[in-house]
Amino acid sequence: MTYAIARLALAPPLAPALTDAVTHSVVQCENLLVQRGGRTVLKDLSFEVAQGTVTGLLGPSGCGKTTLIRSVIGVQTIRSGRLTVDGLPAGHRELRRRVGYASQGASVYLDLTVRENVRYFATAVGAPASDVDRVIEEVDLGRLAGQLTGQLSSGERSRVSLAVALLGNPRLLALDEPTVGLDPVLREQLWSLFARLAKSDITLLVSSHVMDEAERCDQLLLMRGGELLTQATPAELKERTGAPDLDKAFLRLLQQTGNAA
């Protein structure tokens, strides 16, 4: 699987029929252009996200990560380009059951308990009642299920938000900075959860600005200033730049592309 992705990234001109035979892309994006308030926030982005992988979306803050995630889940108005999820245009009615989303701030009700939050969103998503306890356990909040969400720490709140995203049976999980404010132990737990989910064929698009998290991704999308610098696996990125770690690899890439432009 990883090999297939690597080929996809290294040889973009590959015939579509051939790549489809190798791996199925859940997200396909061609020449995506997004403008907000007269400013171009995403400039001509093209990439694909393969099924059952964790794709990390990395780049400095303000580079357009959140806008890209919002475009993929279909809440962002697109100026031009083609963006499909599971073969349907992003935001399609049918996708509302297939895409799980957690925004950067914990978008849950602070004046409800953890369980009340999850239960309500479960009804909204159309997930079975048994899902409520499952997702609460999955983010390790069983102990706090009866607590008011507003009384939790910010890390705990973002886990409530993540639990909601896991409800139902999403084919794609779009998570905007899900590990911000979490301690190393919890971050490790979440990335293990992401890997487990990917194994069960769920596709994850996870944004982060912490480079050491990039190491845990199957595939990386590196962005800067609304542009996609590259799509590569962590190993490829290090090889291509000759850097010992991803942090330095990204910096070198920034310098290289900066010089090229």
Partner 1 sequence: MNRATTLATAQRVLRQLRHDPRTIALLILVPSGLMVLLRYVFDSKAAFNGLAPALLGIFPFTLMFLVTSITTLRERTSGTLERLMTTPLGKLDLLVGYALAFGAVALVQVLAAVGVSTALGLNVKGSFWGLLLVTLLGALLGLALGLFTSAFARSEFQAIQFLPLIVFPQLLLCGLFHPRAQMATVLRWASDFMPLSYSVEALKRTALTTDLGGAYLRDALVVAACALAALGLAAATLRRRTA
> Rounded distance, CA 78 to CA 52, Å?
26
125 touching partner 1, by CB under 8 A: yes
- Nearest residue (CB) to partner 1, 87 versus 126: 126
Residues 155-174, interacting with partner 1 (CB under 8 A): 164
- Nearest residue (CB) to partner 1, 8 versus 69: 69
User: Cβ neighbours of residue 108 under 8 Å, at least 6 residues apart?
Assistant: 117, 121, 149, 157, 160, 161, 164
Residues 23-82, interacting with partner 1 (CB under 8 A): 36-37, 73-77
243 touching partner 1, by CB under 8 A: no
Piece of 46-54, 102-110, 201-209, 242-250 that binds partner 1 (CB under 8 A): 102-110
Sign of CA dihedral 222, 226, 227, 228: positive
> Rounded distance, CA 221 to CA 65, Å?
10
* Least Cβ distance, residue 124 to partner 1 (angstroms): 4
Piece of 21-29, 116-124, 227-235, 248-256 that binds partner 1 (CB under 8 A): 116-124
256 touching partner 1, by CB under 8 A: no
Piece of 14-22, 99-107, 189-197, 210-218 that binds partner 1 (CB under 8 A): 99-107
Count Cβ atoms below 10 Å from residue 231 Cβ, excluding itself: 21
88 touching partner 1, by CB under 8 A: no
User: Cβ neighbours of residue 170 under 8 Å, at least 6 residues apart?
Assistant: 98, 99, 100, 202
217 touching partner 1, by CB under 8 A: no
**Backbone conformation region of residue 219, classed left if phi is above 0, alpha if psi is from -120 to 50, else beta:** beta
Distances (CA, A) of 70 to 41, 61, 138, 182, 184: 12, 15, 24, 23, 27
Residue of 88, 110, 210, 235 that binds partner 1 (CB under 8 A) = 110
Residue-level length of the chain = 261
209 touching partner 1, by CB under 8 A: no
> Rounded distance, CA 232 to CA 240, Å?
10
> Rounded distance, CA 144 to CA 175, Å?
22
* Least Cβ distance, residue 178 to partner 1 (angstroms): 14
134 touching partner 1, by CB under 8 A: no
> Rounded distance, CA 30 to CA 7, Å?
18
Distances (CA, A) of 241 to 100, 161, 222, 223: 34, 36, 14, 16
10 touching partner 1, by CB under 8 A: no
109 touching partner 1, by CB under 8 A: yes
* Least Cβ distance, residue 125 to partner 1 (angstroms): 5
**Using CB under 8 A as the criterion, which residues of the chain lie in contact with partner 1 when the complex forms?**
36-37, 73-77, 91, 93, 96-97, 99, 101, 103, 105, 107-113, 116, 120-121, 123-126, 148, 164
